[in-house]
Amino acid sequence: KKDSLNFNIKLADKDAANQLDLYGLVQFARDTTARLKILPSDVILEHQNWRIDNQVRVRFLNGKTLVSGFELANGGQKVKINGFISDDPADKLKVEFDKFSMTTLDQLTKAANVKMKGTLNGDVVLTSLTKAPTFDSHLAIDSFTMNKTLIGDVKLMSTLDSNRTRANVNMNIVN
């Protein structure tokens, strides 16, 4: 088609812990600057094969970005993202975790010499991401272990107010 562009982005060498093989389609239309679809693609995180199976739709509308249908999965583990990225506090972006293994975050915690284990479930709702971000989270980590020390089952509820002056955190740990 003359009004679209197919693309494939590959990042990292074949032996890297994290890799990306992303397929997508950009469609140019009259009512919006562009529509981006992320097509079924492969992602490797910590040497584990993850997959984006469904078409993810990304629309750019009047200074806002709408993400719908993003789901990254590895077996029973899932991360889903849906909602708006904008400066408007009324626009929400929801990130959901389902049976997410904490070891997937090893590359992020490696510099601090921290290794984590456990299973993360729950969601984080973000607002006003491009101006004054706020969040509201309801997360649970089953059998949370840090550096081979069992911490226990963790329940975490937290919010960051719109003034970004105070975070309210409620954490319960059962060992």
- What is the average pLDDT across 146-157? 96
pLDDT in tens, 25-61: 988 877 657 788 999 999 988 888 999 988 899 988 8
- Position 146 scores a pLDDT of 95
pLDDT in tens, 74-117: 999 999 999 999 999 999 999 999 999 999 998 889 889 999 99
Contacts of 70 (CB under 8 A, 6+ apart): 38, 52, 56, 80, 81, 82
155, two tokens? 């329940």
Q: Between β-strands 134-146 and 116-127, what pairing exists: parallel, antiparallel or unpaired?
A: antiparallel
The whole-angstrom separation of Cα 132 and Cα 144 is 31
- Position 42 scores a pLDDT of 92
| pLDDT over 70, % of the chain | 97
Please state the pTM of the whole predicted model.
0.88
Residue 124 pLDDT more than 90?
A: yes
The helix/strand/coil state of 102 is: helix
90, two tokens? 């009324």
Q: Between β-strands 48-52 and 56-61, what pairing exists: parallel, antiparallel or unpaired?
A: unpaired
